[in-house]
Amino acid sequence: MISNLLASTATDASLPKSPPSNDTWMPIDASTFASHVDGLYDFLFWLSVVAALSIYGVMFYFIVKYRAKSREASEVGDDVSHHNTALEITWSVIPLLFCVGIFVSGFKGYVDLRTAPREALEIHAQGQKWKWLFTYPNGHVDSELHVPVDQDVRIIIQSVDVLHSLFIPAFRTKMDAVPGRYTDLWFRATKSGEFPVFCAEYCGTSHSDMIAKAVVHEPGGYDAWMEEIVARLDNMPPVELGKLMYDQQGCKTCHSVDGSTLVGPSWQGLWGKTRTFADGSSAVVDENYIRNSINDPMSQVVQGFAPSMPTYQGKLSDKQINGIIEYIKSLK
């Protein structure tokens, strides 16, 4: 509910906003898991409410019934019964039946969540400070998750730095991204539209900015989007491509383009400057310096900044790197 509220009240127009929900507590239900998760949650909530009110009622009844009416009465102990077999069996068996039912329902839902269909569409998700990147079957990498409606989708998750957690509230699914291993989740979206994607594991200073968008396409829309994006990237001018990489690959989280200092140096006016590194060496910002900083950032850590940039070795094509170089050149 909190994540849904944050997304729906976001003031930044570029951030995804969750569609309105008819449920009081939950975000919109947009996957096949939602009905089971919401039903179990509602059952537990109202069971807790009824149990709490019952206990409070019995407590209030005992307080009134057995209150001392005078000081003398309070000093005289009444005969009490310390054991009632029928009562103890009742308050043990009835909760046990509820617990067994809750366990069976919860376990069935867990098995469904963890068992992805064999023919599911597979998309790779990569978490890094502080960005989600999604790699599609044709090799295209995007900062948005695009999926078709009414089709099983399996997300294979990994992290390149610290713990993250891919969380899509509208789909009622979440899974940790763990460095050095793969995890996965799956879902079947039932409604088209745009839904927020969060990181649910604290991962550093800009954790709350690690928000992406899940776009669920109408039938045929996913394939059309794939064809459109491939054609657009093939014909995109280098500077425009570099700007796209800056937005998509998480560069803007650490590098500004207006001269302000973030986690890393600003890109504005960077081209042609001499940078001094933590080991005392220096280099002029040119094509070779930028390429090396992208592929092996730990080899040239700029003095005064923490060594926090992940490597992009093998993740960006030469064309994409050249686009970033041209974009930096344009930032006078």
**CATH 2.60.40.420 placement within the chain:** 121-233
For residues 262 and 255, is the Cβ–Cβ distance under 8 A?
A: yes
Q: For 152, list phi and psi in degrees, rounded to 5.
A: -70, 135
Q: Can you give the pLDDT at residue 322?
A: 87
Q: Can you give the pLDDT at residue 28?
A: 87
For residues 121 and 149, is the Cβ–Cβ distance under 8 A?
A: no
Q: Can you give the pLDDT at residue 3?
A: 47
Q: Can you give the pLDDT at residue 99?
A: 92
**CATH 1.10.760.10 placement within the chain:** 236-330
CA 69, distance to chain mean position in Å, is: 59
Fold for 236-330, please state it.
Answer: Cytochrome Bc1 Complex; Chain D, domain 2 (1.10.760)
Domain covering 34-114 assigned CATH 1.10.10 in the classification: no
Q: Can you give the pLDDT at residue 156?
A: 95
Calpha distance 194→58 (Å, rounded) = 48
Comparing CA positions, the residue from 182, 200, 330, 198 lying closest to residue 268 is 330
**CATH 1.10.287 placement within the chain:** 34-114
- Sign of the CA dihedral running 212, 216, 217, 222: positive
Mean pLDDT per block of 10 residues along the chain (332 residues) reads: 47 67 82 90 93 94 82 63 81 91 92 90 91 87 91 94 93 93 94 93 89 92 87 80 82 85 86 86 88 88 84 82 88 83
CATH architecture assignment, domain 121-233: Sandwich (2.60)
Q: Can you give the pLDDT at residue 282?
A: 87
- The model's pLDDT over 183-239, given as tens digits with 9 standing for 90+, comes to 999 999 999 999 999 999 998 888 988 999 999 999 989 989 988 887 777 777 888
Q: Can you give the pLDDT at residue 245?
A: 84
Angle at alpha carbon of residue 98, lines to 97 and 104, rounded to 5°: 90
- Sign of the CA dihedral running 129, 11, 190, 3: positive
